[in-house]
């Protein structure tokens, strides 16, 4: 019970309680709780260090499996997402060390240097060497992080070649491109509140004249293939993000932004718009369905046929409606 400054009546000062004999078990429990009094003996201190240290190591070893989604960003879908995740891990480990040192010093000083009877505060005004020291230490940590970031950067922004099992592609040089120039381009267009995907190298410029196939909300792409996304928006700012396939890229009207991914296995990946884009922002989801190259070709053919079938129905319908004056001014 610590005395309180605000008490109306003066209270007795806390007296040093006589040490009661404690069982070893109780002592260990107390030492785990961090009461400094029982830590005076070196043996107890060493034991505590051992316990805490092994707990820390155990949690670090076990954590990645048990808590992967909890402490690391999503990865596993694409090399860039993996690279970001490993960069994040390096940052996390450095950060954990800094965190433990700083919080440890804080907690220790608040426990250790509480006002006691007869204790006087050391009247220190500062220490220039110490100031310079921790400035340099902080800067050094950040320099390390900078170097690591720039080492990792190429693997995050530059797309690699497709794997052997991927789709056979021809080269194009208009966009960010893997070394051999072969990639699959998908144009991603954000609009309130759905994503539209147009498939084909020309999708930025000739989507309509080339009658390229397209789909909404769910993107179908082949595995083992470097897919480059050209991202645009037709109305407000959106942000393309499928966590397992890499970082997010804003879709800003008037700009074209690019990202890429290459998925080594089939699967379904979930994502959603990450930039507030209006009322139904929360419903603007995206699905990336990664299939075998053959399946992709089949799907693309079917999609194209379905679109053309619809178009061929819409054409005559439009003629009829226009003739009867039911299509407004167009």
Partner 1 sequence: MSTTESTLRPVPQVIAHEVLRPRQTKRWLDWVTTTDHKKIGIMYLVLTFVFFILGGVEALLMRLQLSVPNNTLITSEHYNMLLTLHGTTMIFLFVVPVMAGFGNYFLPLMIGARDMAFPRLNALSFWLLLLGGIVFYLTLFFHPPDAGWWSYPPLSEALYSPSGGQDAWIFLIHITGISSLVGAINFYATVVNMRAPGMSWGRLPLFVWTILVYAILLIIALPVVAAAVTMLLTDRHFGTHFFDPTAHGSPILWEHLFWFFGHPEVYIMILPGFGIISEVIPVFSRKPIFGYKAIAASTAVIAFLATLVWAHHMFASPVPVVVLGFFMLSSFLIGVPTGVKIFNWIATLWRGSIVMTTSLYFAVGFIAIFVIGGITGIFLAVFPVDWQLNDTYFVVAHFHYVLMGGAVFTVFAGIYYWFPKITGRMLNERVGKLSFWLMFIGFNATFFVQHALGLSGMPRRVYTYQPGLGWSTYNLISTIGSFILGVGVLVTIANAARSFKHGKVAGPDPWKGNTLEWYTSSPPPANNFDVIPRVRSVEPMRDIRRQIERETGVTQKTGGSERFVRV
Scanning residues 240 to 269, which ones bind partner 1 (CB under 8 A)?
A: 241, 243, 246-250, 252-257
| Secondary structure element (H or E) that encloses residue 112, with its range | helix 79-112
Residue 320: which residues within 8 A CB-CB, separation 6 or more? none
Does residue 71 bind partner 1 (CB under 8 A)? yes
Binding of partner 1 by 105 (CB under 8 A) = yes
- Output the smallest distance, CB 260 to partner 1, in A: 13
For partner 1, the binding residues in 1-60 under the rule CB under 8 A are 2-8, 10, 13
Give the one residue of 31, 38, 84, 215 binding partner 1; rule: CB under 8 A: 84
Binding test (CB under 8 A) with partner 1, winner from 37, 62, 134, 309: 134
Least distance (Å) from partner 1 to the CB of residue 315? 29
Whose tokens are 């196939």? That residue is 213
Binding status of residue 287 toward partner 1 by CB under 8 A:
no
Binding partner 1 by CB under 8 A: which of 22, 54, 55, 131? 131
On the CB side of 54, CA atoms within 13 Å amount to 5
Q: Does 93 bind partner 1 (CB under 8 A)?
A: no
| CA-to-CA dists, residue 4 to 36, 115, 118, angstroms | 22, 12, 17
What is the crossing angle of helices 128-157 and 79-112, to 10°? 160
Where helices occur in 165-277 by DSSP H, the ranges are 203-206
Is residue 194 a contact residue for partner 1 (CB under 8 A)?
Answer: no
> Please, which residues bridge with residue 249 across strands?
240
Residues 142-171 that bind partner 1 (CB under 8 A): 142, 145-146, 149-150, 152-153, 156-157
Place of tokens 């693309």: 300
Rule CB under 8 A: is residue 275 a binding residue for partner 1?
A: yes
């Amino acid at each position: 019970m610590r005395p309180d400054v605000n008490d109306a009546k003066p209270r007795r000062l806390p007296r040093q309680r006589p040490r009661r004999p404690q069982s070893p078990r109780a002592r260990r429990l107390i030492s785990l709780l961090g009461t400094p009094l029982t830590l005076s003996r070196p043996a107890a201190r060493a034991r505590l260090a051992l316990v805490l240290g092994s707990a820390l190591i155990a949690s670090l070893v076990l954590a990645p499996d048990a808590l992967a989604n909890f402490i690391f960003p999503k990865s596993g879908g694409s090399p860039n997402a993996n690279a970001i995740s490993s960069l994040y891990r390096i940052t996390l480990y450095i950060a954990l060390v800094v965190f433990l040192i700083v919080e440890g010093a804080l907690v220790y000083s608040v426990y250790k240097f509480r006002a006691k009877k007869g204790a006087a505060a050391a009247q220190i005004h500062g220490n220039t060497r110490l100031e310079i020291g921790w400035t340099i230490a902080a800067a050094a940590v950040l320099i390390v992080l900078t170097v690591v970031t720039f080492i990792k950067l190429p693997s995050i922004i530059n797309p690699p070649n497709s794997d052997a099992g991927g789709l056979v592609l021809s080269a194009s040089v208009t966009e960010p491109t893997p070394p051999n120039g072969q990639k699959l381009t998908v144009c991603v267009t954000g609009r309130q509140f759905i994503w539209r995907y147009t498939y084909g190298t020309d999708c930025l410029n000739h989507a309509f004249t080339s009658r390229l196939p397209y789909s909404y909300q769910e993107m179908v792409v082949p595995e083992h293939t470097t897919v480059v996304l050209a991202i645009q928006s037709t109305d407000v700012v959106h942000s393309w993000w499928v966590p397992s396939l890499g970082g997010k890229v804003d879709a800003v009207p008037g700009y074209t932004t690019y990202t890429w991914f290459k998925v080594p296995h089939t699967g379904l990946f979930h994502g959603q718009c990450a930039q507030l884009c209006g009322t139904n922002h929360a419903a603007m989801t995206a699905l990336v369905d990664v299939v075998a190259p053959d399946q992709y070709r089949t799907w693309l053919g079917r999609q194209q046929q379905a679109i053309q079938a619809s178009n061929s129905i819409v054409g005559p319908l439009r003629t009829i409606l226009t003739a009867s004056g039911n299509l407004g001014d167009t």
